[in-house]
Amino acid sequence: MNEEFISEPITPASGTFETTAMTRGEPALPGRFTWRDREYAIADVLEIWKESGPCSSGGGEQYLRKHWYRIRTDNGLNMTIYFERQPRAKRQNKARWWLYTIERS
């Protein structure tokens, strides 16, 4: 397997979110998303983890920054996607879901 770094925003398909995660304070994972004008459906979630980071104002607190998901799509691709709790910049306010890597054989 060869892992390719992508780091580009994806567009979740509306109406496909797994809303039960929201009751636990987690983002609702989309069932489908679009990347580079192609739609992908999530067939399986292989792994889930969270990333924390220090307070940006210099305090000693740790804040939850990202929710990571290693997924398999319906066409057999393994991808790593994540949800960013705070936007990177105001102009990217709606870009919360990102494709991080794709494993290619």
For the chain, the structural domain boundaries read 2-104
**Mean pLDDT, residues 74-78:** 95
Tens of pLDDT along 14-28? 999 988 888 888 899
Q: pLDDT digits over 26-38, tens only?
A: 899 999 999 999 9
Residue 31 CB burial class (10 angstroms; 0-12, 13-18, ≥19): middle
Helix (H) or strand (E) holding 41: strand 38-54
**Greatest mean pLDDT range, 20-29, 37-46, 61-70:** 37-46
User: For residues 105 and 103, what is the distance between their CA atoms, to the nearest angstrom?
Assistant: 7
CB 12 within 8 A of CB 33: yes
Here the tokens at position 38 are 């192609």
The conformation of residue 47, written as its DSSP 8-state character, comes to E
Separation of alpha carbons 23 and 92, rounded Å: 26
Across the beta sheet with 38-54, what order do the strands follow? 2-9, 97-104, 78-84, 62-73, 38-54, 32-35, 11-12
